[in-house]
Each structure stands twice: as structure tokens, then as C-alpha cells.
Amino acid sequence: MLYPLNIDLTGRRIVVVGGGTVAERKVRGILAADAGPFISMIAPEATAGLRVLAEAGRIVWQCERYAHGMLTGAFLVYAATDAPAVNAAVA
């Protein structure tokens, strides 16, 4: 069952774990909300589009693999990797 949810992301820290196409779709969706959130992406590699966003300062790219403790202070987290074990660890 899907449940629609509206939340105010203004000034919130959002973390996206993953740097592929799913992660890029999540990041672009958050940026489209124009709420001024702080978006951090944790991924050893990233799509060209995510690299451009990081270079432009729109997101902060932590160019490393996810490890326990990296989500401290996050308001919202997306597990967007193609590795089920990593997504489970994020959850």
C-alpha cells in the first residue's frame, strides 16, 4: 500500500545513499521542491548529472561507501543503491 506524505523539508538535512539513476531521480525531486534542504549524497561513484549538481554546490557528495553512523542528524534518508545489503544497512 502506498501512502502519500507531504512534509516540509525547509532547512532539513536529507541524505541519499547511492549515486545511480534512482538516487539522481530522488535528488532532483527534492531539489524541485525548492525548500532549501541540505542534501548529502553518500556514494563512491555518481552519475554525470549528480556530479554536475555536486560541482555546482547544489548537493554535498561524500565520495565513499556507506558506513554505520553516517546518517546522524538526517531528517530524511533514501536508500537508493543497487546493493540489497547496503539498502538494508541504511534502513
| Closest C-alpha among 79, 12, 73 to residue 39 | 12
Q: How far apart are CA 64 and CA 15, in angstroms?
A: 13
For every one of its 91 residues, what pLDDT tens digit does the chain have, with 9 covering 90 and above? 777 888 888 889 999 999 999 999 999 999 988 767 799 999 999 999 999 999 999 999 999 999 999 999 999 999 999 999 999 999 9
Q: What is the pTM of this model?
A: 0.91
How far CA 20 is from CA of 8, 13, 48, 62, 83, in Å, comes to 25, 20, 9, 14, 11
- Using only the alpha carbons of the chain, give its radius of gyration: 12
End-to-end CA distance of the chain: 19
